């Protein structure tokens, strides 16, 4: 097994930031109709306005999905804690692929992007 596959499996088996927050400032849910993956992101903000450079205080995700979607969510929530809202809003597929460290098949692109789409929707609600 290669290093990147091991990293993905580690995040899938031991997801970081999995669960729920007490009284989140925002919660957004979405799903991937093509495979059935479902993702919820809950966020508490240090600063609660995009105009005031919103910053994440805490973030959790929950839902069901394949190893790629769950690992992507785990890695993305870790990364999001270190980024300002405007940086989160401009993340792309290339950023997700770099984070995962592997090439994605066309059928897995939607799986990997679901957490980013949900996170970006949550950031817009600030």
Mean pLDDT along residues 91-117: 94
Structure confidence at residue 9 as a pLDDT band (50, 70, 90): very high
Answering whether pTM is above 0.85, one says: yes
**Which residues on adjacent β-strands are paired with residue 58?**
44
Tens digits of residue pLDDT in 75-90? 999 999 999 888 999 9
Task: Name the residue with tokens 């990147």.
Answer: 4
Mean pLDDT along residues 5-17: 94
Contacting residues for 13 by C-beta, under 8 A, at least 6 apart: none
Average pLDDT, the chain: 91
What domains are defined for the chain? 3-124 (3.90.1010.10)
The pLDDT of residue 1 is 45
Tens digits of residue pLDDT in 22-71? 999 999 999 998 889 999 999 998 866 656 567 899 999 999 999 999 99
Mean pLDDT along residues 7-36: 95
| Separation between Cα atoms, residue 36 and residue 47, nearest integer Å | 34
Identify the residue with better confidence: 49 or 98.
98
The pLDDT of residue 3 is 57
Cα–Cα separations (whole angstroms), residue 14 to 11, 54, 94: 5, 28, 24
């Amino acid at each position: 097994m290669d290093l990147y596959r091991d990293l993905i499996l580690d995040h899938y088996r031991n997801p970081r930031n999995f669960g729920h927050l007490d009284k989140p400032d925002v919660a957004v849910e979405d799903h991937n109709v093509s495979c059935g993956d479902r993702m919820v992101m809950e966020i508490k903000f240090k600063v609660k306005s995009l105009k005031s450079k919103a910053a994440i205080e805490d973030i959790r995700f929950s839902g069901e999905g394949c190893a790629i979607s769950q690992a992507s969510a785990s890695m993305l929530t870790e990364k999001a804690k270190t980024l300002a809202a405007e940086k989160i809003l401009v993340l792309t597929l290339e950023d997700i692929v770099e984070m995962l460290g592997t090439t994605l098949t066309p059928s897995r692109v939607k799986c990997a992007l679901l957490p980013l789409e949900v996170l970006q929707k949550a950031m817009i609600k600030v």
